[in-house]
Amino acid sequence: MLLGLLWVTGVTGFALDELQALALDARRTLADVCRTLRAAGMSAVAAVAIDMLGDFTAVEEVRAAGLTASRLIVQSLAPDARIEMVERARDLQAAVGGFKAFAPLPRTFSAAQPTTGFDDVKLVALARLLVSNIDSIQVDWPLYGPKLAQVALTVGADDIDGVAAVETGLLGTRRSAVEEIRGNIRAAALEPVERNARFEAIA
């Protein structure tokens, strides 16, 4: 079963490292900044970058302030740090819990040391094997493209992120991004299921 983000519920914003920088600039504590954002209507931190996270207690501070933090990402990743980063995601979940998805493929790429599609697929498979305590392994659709995302579904990924919440209709119903994703999921012998930002399936 695949859970793909098609509808947004609640107000989500900032990565955790951005909140930490904001708190530092404002000379406030992370918890204080999170409480202010919660009071203003924000319900969740968009992502926690495992490679930019120092002490695991920062996640606990965010949650204690009333914000959800359920998505782990990797901002950048050196080729020789793949196993270490995946293990760190597993250890963070074991320490503080609450994460619903882990996106092991980095958000930024090194021009000097680019990965190949084979490297990316191996990393997804490694994440699925080692991070058994997080339900979903995620791949970003617009960042990695439909072909790699589709192959990733066959080696352990089960969540596609980056799907537009609103269709423009410019390409017609059959060529919309949502229909393309659904078609690729079915071609991988899986059943597409919509989810919301809380990782709840939409009936």
Domain extent listing, the chain? 2-195
Q: Which residue has the tokens 């968009």?
A: 46
Q: What is the pLDDT of residues 7-61, one digit of tens each?
A: 445 788 899 999 999 999 999 999 999 999 999 999 999 999 999 998 899 999 9
Q: What are phi and psi of 158, to 5 degrees?
A: -145, 20
Question: Is 90 exceeded by the pLDDT of residue 2?
Answer: no
Q: Which two tokens stand for residue 192?
A: 């597409």
Question: Can you give the pLDDT at residue 201?
Answer: 87
The answer to whether residues 74 and 103 touch, using CB atoms and an 8 Å cutoff, is: yes
Q: What topology does CATH give the domain 2-195?
A: TIM Barrel (3.20.20)
Distance of CA 98 to the CA centre of its chain: 13
Q: pTM surpassing 0.85?
A: yes
Q: What is the pLDDT of residues 155-198, one digit of tens each?
A: 999 999 987 766 665 555 555 677 888 888 999 899 999 888 77
Helix (H, G, I), strand (E, B) or coil at 134: coil
Q: What are phi and psi of 147, to 5 degrees?
A: -70, -50
Give the whole-angstrom CA distance, residue 176 versus residue 82. 34
**Residues paired with 161 in a beta bridge:** 140
Please tell me what DSSP assigns to residue 113. S
